[in-house]
Amino acid sequence: MLYNVLRVIRCFCQSPQACSVLAIAHSLHQSGIFSTMREVNIKGASGLCTLVSDGQSEIPQSVSDSENMGKSSFSVQSTPEIEKKYVHHVYDAIAPHFSSTRFAKWPKVATFLSSLHSGSLVLDAGCGNGKYLGLNPDCFFIGCDISAPLIKICADRGHEVLVADAINLPYRTNFGDAAISIAVLHHLSTDIRRKRAIEELVRVVKKGGLVLITVWAVEQEDRSLLAKWTPLSEKYVEEWIGPGSPLARSPSSLPLESIPENEDNGSRDHTKDSMVKMHETPHLTSESKNNSLSLKHEKNTKNQQEYFVPWHLPYHRAEVSGASACALANGLAKKDDKKGAVVYNRYYHVFSEGELERLASGIENAVIVDRFYDKSNWCIILEKIL
């Protein structure tokens, strides 16, 4: 079994050094001593206490093929601050609780994996707690995720996994039979990074290989969910263009709306300002006022694609002196005594209809063979043709 696993890993790794790391990680896991590629104290204080602001990802970058290194740019390889603070650090902090809620397999994903040929080598990029790893017993699975605590959960379950960045996968080109990216791309904050992640998924599969990608849709089946999310306000523009972030957002992206940071802060002032503006235009009828406000809200909601989505970590799940305490001290989480939870904000770019296809259509060596909407997600299946 060990021979087969290491043979699969050698096929996927880009370099002998990477293979050695994986082989050592596997042997350590078998002996009950698991070590990830990133230094994270799972039970104690996490990286939230010492936020990185030097523009580099905390995870060591894997060795890339020379052709990929030539295509790489600083703006793509470096991790924006908004992703570090509101994606990486959050999932590190909530990993055990998050994992306990992630056990149901999406039927469409299960169908895709079950349809693969026996002996297929499958990469799950952004595997989370590994719920899809091993779903098809006739296939080999290798998973990776940016969160070391989630990877530890996977390793403890016996899966072959490692910590890695979705836009710089540490795998060889043209060796996988299939790859999946389930609910991952919407955590990347720019078009360039989202497209690069798709390119990486295509790169690691062989000609004829399939790639399944799913992302959250702005067209949610339950529209009431949007009211529970916090649209990003202008306050975060400086952070977005801060150290480690692209100098400017993609020209195709819509500007961030100036909306209060959350429901509690600024909501009363916002209402007061609206009332003042209404009194300043006495010629408007009551009906026209309501229609105007309704249209403005609808426009804002329609144009808005950048959100903070809350995660409520129950007090009994939060470490007293660990990640949650640091997050509260750094202002990256807040207490909700009514619900008895520490509330974290997770960054999401929710996709509009056709957006995922437009990103993928610019990739020369792959074609879209299927697209569908499923459970408030936009999904595509790509086939590598070159």
Could you write out the DSSP letters of every residue in 241-296?
A: TSTTS-SS--TTSPPPP---SSSSSSHHHHHHHHHHHHHT-TTS-HHHHHHHHHHH
CA 37, CA 28: separation in Å to the nearest integer?
Answer: 13
Claim to verify: residue 186 and residue 49 sit in the same structural domain: yes
* Structure token digits, residue 294: 């309704």
Q: Could you say which of 303, 323, 338 is where a domain stops?
A: 303
Q: What is the largest CA-CA distance in the chain?
A: 80
Structural domain contains residue 348: no
Write down the pLDDT at residue 257: 32
Q: Could you say which of 245, 277, 303 is where a domain stops?
A: 303
Claim to verify: residue 204 and residue 265 sit in the same structural domain: no
State the pTM of this model. 0.71
Claim to verify: residue 157 and residue 287 sit in the same structural domain: no
Per-residue pLDDT tens over the stretch 238-264: 555 444 444 333 333 333 332 233 333
Claim to verify: residue 104 and residue 168 sit in the same structural domain: yes
Structural domain contains residue 343: no
Structural domain contains residue 331: no
Half-sphere exposure of 120 (CA within 13 A, CB side): 25
Structural domain contains residue 251: no
Query: How far is C-alpha 124 from the chain's CA centre?
Result: 13
Write down the pLDDT at residue 233: 73
Claim to verify: residue 182 and residue 287 sit in the same structural domain: no
Per-residue pLDDT tens over the stretch 345-380: 999 999 999 999 999 998 999 999 999 999 999 999
Claim to verify: residue 362 and residue 288 sit in the same structural domain: no
Q: Could you say which of 243, 271, 303 is where a domain stops?
A: 303
30 DSSP 8-state letter: H
- DSSP alpha helices (H): ranges in the chain? 2-12, 16-30, 66-71, 74-77, 81-83, 89-100, 107-114, 148-156, 191-203, 237-240, 267-279, 286-303, 323-329, 355-361
Write down the pLDDT at residue 2: 42
What CATH number does the domain containing 51 carry? 3.40.50.150
Closest CA to 219 of 378, 38, 32: 378
Claim to verify: residue 78 and residue 166 sit in the same structural domain: yes
Claim to verify: residue 40 and residue 151 sit in the same structural domain: yes
Claim to verify: residue 208 and residue 268 sit in the same structural domain: no
Q: Looking at the 3D structure of the chain, how many domains does it have?
A: 2
Claim to verify: residue 108 and residue 205 sit in the same structural domain: yes
Write down the pLDDT at residue 77: 65
Write down the pLDDT at residue 238: 52
Please list the ranges in the chain whose pLDDT falls under 70.
1-77, 234-302, 320-321
Claim to verify: residue 269 and residue 181 sit in the same structural domain: no
Write down the pLDDT at residue 128: 98
Structural domain contains residue 346: no
Structural domain contains residue 15: yes
CA 215, CA 161: separation in Å to the nearest integer?
Answer: 22
Write down the pLDDT at residue 318: 87
Cα dihedral 36/37/43/45 (nearest 10) = 180
Determine contact, residues 205/173, Cβ cutoff 8 Å. no
Structural domain contains residue 248: no
Phi, psi of 35 (to 5 degrees): -135, 130
Claim to verify: residue 207 and residue 95 sit in the same structural domain: yes
**Residue with token string 């206490």:** 49
Structural domain contains residue 230: no
Domain of residue 116: give its range: 2-218+353-384
